[in-house]
Copies of this chain bind each other. A is one copy, B any other.
Amino acid sequence: MSVLIVGSTALDSIKTPKKENPRLLGGSASHAAAAASFFGPVQLVGVVGDDFPKRYLQLYQRRHIDLEGLQILPGKTFHWSGEYEANMNNRRTLLTELGVFETFNPTLPARYQAAEYVLLANIAPSLQHHVLDQVKSPKFVVADTMDLWLNIALPDLLKLIKRVDGFVLNDSEAHQLTKEDNVFCALKKLHKLGPKYVIIKQGSHGSILSGPDGPFLCPAYPLRQLQDPTGAGDSFVGAIMGYLAAKRGSLDANLRRAMVYGSVVASFCCEGFGLQRTARLTRAQIEKRVKELEKLTRF
């Protein structure tokens, strides 16, 4: 089964205390699509300018990502630039050039409208709505977001949350949205906003899934060195959706393992700038880390 993924497709200029890398392939949809592609077919919905490097289109193609939904328009590709502090947790945005993204009107190719697994990766909630409107009978819809939309598009986001099966956010966004310090209290309030499944990301501390089967505490894969955490959250949710779409059996039976795969793919993402490490990743390397996580958590 294919996963339909909409989100940003961007050029990221990323600065860490150790290195600076200009105009990497980035964006929530790029990271999520690459991560999902290790498990099965992916349909990408996004927009880039005519400055978008050919090698990045080739990177998508090497991951067998369906690009019929990727618009290439005259103008500049969305460009984001950010800088990380030494702890690699805090980052500040240096520059945001929307380019062709400013007028992005995602129209689904006819083939995409039959999608059953839909990932509304981080992008303006209005665009997430617009894509979801075009999907005929989705089976499992998950939305990711970021603090920006909580700040400038909260009503749209709250409407969206009511329409999705799963909602993904990080712990500080959960706190911002619910005013709860305690993550389990926050989860309770988040379910009341609509979604059956809520996933709270906690960076190097792992993540928590909350659903009908009760909570699942998902470990993060232990990394000694992070190169660049940009896109880790997108990779996480991309891998989850890719795994679920590829797997037979009930959703509830597969969801915990999907989280672990998400955690592992996200760990690889952090080991290179942009998509550099993910682009070289193999399914065997993913399986190896999943086995390691089993060993790391067994008691």
A residues in contact (CB < 8 Å) with B: 86-88, 181-185, 188, 202, 204-206, 214-219, 222-226, 256-257, 259-260, 294-299
Judge whether A216 and B297 touch: CB under 8 Å.
yes
CA distance A87 to B179 in the complex (A): 12
Select one of B184, B188, B299 contacting A257, CB under 8 A.
B299
19 A–B contact pairs at CB < 8 A? A87-B181, A88-B181, A182-B223, A182-B224, A182-B226, A183-B222, A184-B222, A184-B223, A185-B224, A185-B225, A205-B205, A215-B222, A216-B296, A216-B297, A216-B299, A217-B296, A217-B297, A218-B299, A297-B297
CA distance A260 to B216 in the complex (A): 16
- Say how far A21's CB is from chain B's closest CB, in angstroms: 21
CA distance A181 to B203 in the complex (A): 14
Contacting residues, chain B, for A206 (C-beta < 8 A): 205
Contacting residues, chain B, for A296 (C-beta < 8 A): 214-217
Select one of B217, B256, B260 contacting A219, CB under 8 A.
B217
Residue of B nearest to A295 (CB): B214
CA distance A214 to B205 in the complex (A): 18
How many of these chains are in the complex? 2
Judge whether A225 and B297 touch: CB under 8 Å.
no
Contacting residues, chain B, for A260 (C-beta < 8 A): 299
CA distance A188 to B225 in the complex (A): 13
Contacting residues, chain B, for A223 (C-beta < 8 A): 182, 184
Judge whether B185 and A256 touch: CB under 8 Å.
no
CA distance A50 to B299 in the complex (A): 45
Contacting residues, chain B, for A226 (C-beta < 8 A): 182
A222-B215, A222-B217 given; A86·B181 CB < 8 A? yes
- Say how far A99's CB is from chain B's closest CB, in angstroms: 35
Q: In the complex, which of the residues A88, A260, A297, A298 has the most CB atoms of chain B within 10 Å of its own CB atom?
A: A297
The 6 tightest CB contacts between A and B, nearest first, are A256-B299, A205-B205, A184-B224, A217-B219, A217-B296, A184-B222
CA distance A259 to B184 in the complex (A): 22
CA distance A66 to B216 in the complex (A): 40
Residue of B nearest to A87 (CB): B181
Residue of B nearest to A296 (CB): B217
Contacting residues, chain B, for A297 (C-beta < 8 A): 216-217, 219, 297
Contacting residues, chain B, for A224 (C-beta < 8 A): 182, 184-185, 188
Residue of B nearest to A219 (CB): B217
Contacting residues, chain B, for A88 (C-beta < 8 A): 181
CA distance A206 to B222 in the complex (A): 14
